[in-house]
Amino acid sequence: MNGLLARFARSTGAGPAAEFALVLPLILIFLLGIIDVGRFAWEVNRAEKATQTGARWAAATNMIANGLAGYSFATGVDRIPAGTPVPASAFPGISCASNGTTATCTCLGTCNFPTTADNAAFATLIDRMNDIKPDIAPANVIVEYRNSGLGFSGDPNGPNVAPIISVQLRDLDFVPLTLMLFSGTIDLPDFSYSLTMEDGDGPWSN
């Protein structure tokens, strides 16, 4: 019996199995890390494309800042002569965001036009961005309208300004496979894309 125990103690037959058990976790971490790098790049690409698509949608469909859309700088408080460009002092810009349920627009300076928001237009914008990246929530998106110098006061056919529209996407998280067991996340970078407004009217864009 003692001889059998001695031979068992001297046996090295299970050495490779023990070494494999030690190396396996490192191999798995390395493999999952490679997969996560690819997944991260994919998510960044999707977020960037969703931002570009959102900017295109915002430029060609109903303005979220609908108070600006229906305001005449020629007959309103500003009294800017009809046919002249709207200066930055009269249109310093406006930012529209949502708390998750309701969109609000805020003037970036002093505005005489209404700062009401079109919640339906904002929701449609989010839906279009979700076609590219489904985890985008309303609270992740900000839409800004900045003075471009285009358009003219008193335009009877549409908004008096053709602003530069910037769609910003922020506060998104990425969940790596290597951190999933620990509920760990990595912040995605913020994204922004700008286009000059086209007609700013209608429910659909290509």
For residue 32, tell me if it sits in a domain. Answer: yes
Cα–Cα nearest to 32, from 135, 184, 170, 171: 184
For residue 104, tell me if it sits in a domain. Answer: yes
Share of the chain above pLDDT 90, in %: 71
Q: What pLDDT is attached to residue 8?
A: 52
For residue 17, what pLDDT band results from cuts at 50, 70 and 90?
Answer: low
Contact 149, 85 (CB under 8 A): yes
Which residue range(s) make up the domain with 90? 10-196
Q: What pLDDT is attached to residue 10?
A: 61
Residue-wise pLDDT for 86-104, tens only, equals 999 999 999 999 998 899 9
For residue 182, tell me if it sits in a domain. Answer: yes
Examine the pLDDT at 9 and tell me if it is beyond 70.
no
Distances (CA, A) of 203 to 85, 125, 169: 27, 10, 21
Q: What pLDDT is attached to residue 22?
A: 75
Residue-wise pLDDT for 42-77, tens only, equals 999 999 999 999 999 999 999 999 999 889 999 999
pTM of the model as a whole:
0.84
For residue 203, tell me if it sits in a domain. Answer: no
| Average pLDDT over every residue of 150-163 | 93
Contacts 24+ apart (CB under 8 A), 174-178: 174/39, 174/40, 174/43, 176/32, 176/36, 176/39, 176/40, 177/32, 177/35, 177/36, 177/39, 178/29, 178/32, 178/33, 178/36
For residue 204, tell me if it sits in a domain. Answer: no
Cα–Cα nearest to 168, from 82, 53, 51, 29: 51
For residue 201, tell me if it sits in a domain. Answer: no
For residue 2, tell me if it sits in a domain. Answer: no
How many residues comprise the chain?
A: 206
Give the number of domains in the chain.
1
Choice between 153 and 179, residue whose per-residue pLDDT is larger: 153
For residue 4, tell me if it sits in a domain. Answer: no
